Amino acid sequence: MVWRDRDWRDEAIAWAERRLAERGRRVSGKAEQIHVVPWSTVLRIPTDRGAVYFKATWPPQRHEAAITEALARWAPDQGTAVLALDRRRGWLLAEDAGPRLREVLAKDRDIRRWHAVLPRYAELQLKTAPHVSELLKLDVPDRRADALAMSYERLLKDRSLMRIGLKEGLSAVQHERLRGMVPQVREWAMAISAAIPATIQHDDLHDGQVFVRDGHYRILDWGDACVSHPFYSLSVILRSTSEHRVHVQAQARRARARARSRRVPGAVHSRRDQNADPRCISGSRAPGLDLACAVVGAGCRKSSTGGEKKRARQRAALTSTFPRSYSFGLTTILGTRDFLSTQVAFAIISVHPGIVSTVVTR
C-alpha cells in the first residue's frame, strides 16, 4: 500500500510544509498518520496556528480534492477552509473541521442533531445546483436520472455480470422481470428529471462524514460524491441514524439489566442484553434497522404474520426521528416493497403534490 511507503509520506509532508510556509504557517510537531485505508489516507499536521489535515485519495476518487475546494467557494459557511490542493495527485490540505458527529453522538446520544445537519446539507445542494456543469468538468461521476436509466438497461444486457442461472446470480425469471421493467425505469427517470434539478449527492453521508466545530456542522469526505438527484443521499442517512438508535437501545437494555441485578439478589444479566450484536436486533425493540435495510434494498427479512401492522409501527418509529416535513415522504418510501421501486422512491416522492423536497426543506 503506497500510503505506508516512507518515501511517499515524506514527499506528502514536504508538500504540505511548503504550502503552509506560503501562508506564513510553521509546522510545530511530527505529522501523524491517523487514517489508512486502501482508497485514502489522512495525516494530522500540527502547526503554530492549530492542526491541519492532509488527505490523499486513490485515482478513482481524486476528484474529492477539487470538489472540496469548489464547495468551499460556493458555500464557504458549510465546508472546511481549503489551504492547498493538487488536483493531479488528488492531494488536499485543509483546516481542522472539528470532531466527527459520530464522537459527539457517542457522548450525548442526541440523534436530533440530524435535524440541524439535514437542512444545512439541503442548502448546500441548492447552492451547488447551478454549478452542475462545473462539477462534471471536475470528473465527478454523472448519475443523473437519465444516465442511471441507461446504465440500468446496459447492466441487464450483460448476462455475465447478472450471473444468470448461477447460485450467486439471478434466475432466468428474475432477469426477465427486470428487463420488463426497463420502460418503467425510463418513465421514472423522466419524472425525476422534471421535478427537481440534479446537484451534488454525497452518496456516503453518515455520522462519520459530518464534523462539528463552534456549533456549526460541516460535511466532508466527498470521494463517493456524484451529480444526481438530491434525495438519494437519504438512503445512507437513514441507515446511519437507524443503526445509532439500535445501539442506544441495546445500551439502555444492558443498563436496565445491570440495575435489576443490583436490586434483586442473585439476579443475572440477560445473555441477550450482554452478548447480542446490536446490528442483529429486530422487532419492536429496534424498528429502525429493519427499515434501513428495506430502504437500501438489501438484507431485509420476509414479513411474518402481522407484518403489515409491524411495518406500520416501524414507519412511525423512524419517521418520528426526522422533521415533520420529511414524514410523508419517508412513509411513502418505507411503504414501498419492490426492490427497484425502493431505490428510486427517494426521488419519485418529489413529484407528488404537497411533498416538501429535501432541497427546499426549511
- Selected residue with higher pLDDT from 239 and 279: 239
Which residues on adjacent β-strands are paired with residue 211?
100, 218
pLDDT for 294:
33
Lowest mean pLDDT segment, chosen from 109-123, 214-228, 240-254, 285-299: 285-299
Share of the chain above pLDDT 90, in %: 51
Top-confidence range, 11-15, 113-117, 143-147: 11-15
**Mean pLDDT, all residues of the chain:** 76
Q: For residue range 317-347, what is the model confidence (pLDDT) as tens digits? A: 444 444 443 333 333 333 333 333 434 444 4
Instruction: Write down how long the chain is.
Output: 362
Dihedrals phi, psi of 45, to nearest 5 degrees: -120, 115
Residue 284 has pLDDT above 60, yes or no: no
Share of the chain above pLDDT 70, in %: 67
Domains present along the chain, CATH in parentheses: 2-95 (3.30.200.20), 235-360 (no CATH)
Residue type for position 340? L
Residue 12 has pLDDT above 60, yes or no: yes
Q: For residue range 43-99, what is the model confidence (pLDDT) as tens digits? A: 999 999 999 999 999 999 999 999 999 999 999 988 899 999 999 999 999 999 999
pLDDT for 307:
56
Q: Using CA atoms, how far apart are residues 20 and 11, in angstroms rounded to an integer? A: 14
Residue type for position 63? H
Instruction: Quickly state the pLDDT bin for 167 (edges 50, 70, 90).
Output: confident
DSSP state of 158: -
Top-confidence range, 14-28, 288-302, 322-336, 346-360: 14-28
pLDDT for 202:
96
pLDDT for 44:
98
Instruction: Quickly state the pLDDT bin for 360 (edges 50, 70, 90).
Output: very low
3-state DSSP helix/strand/coil % of the chain, to nearest 5: 55, 15, 30
pLDDT for 168:
84
Grid cell, residue 317, equals: 418509529
H/E stretch holding 93:
strand 91-95
* The model scores a pTM over 0.75: no
Residue 182 has pLDDT above 60, yes or no: yes
pLDDT for 252:
58
Contact 145, 347 (CB under 8 A): yes
Q: Using CA atoms, how far apart are residues 289 and 280, in angstroms rounded to an integer? A: 8
The edge-to-edge listing of strands for the beta sheet with 91-95 is 32-37, 40-45, 52-57, 91-95, 82-86
DSSP state of 154: H
pLDDT for 349:
39
Lowest mean pLDDT segment, chosen from 67-71, 144-148, 180-184, 240-244: 240-244
Distance of CA 23 to the CA centre of its chain: 33
pLDDT for 19:
97
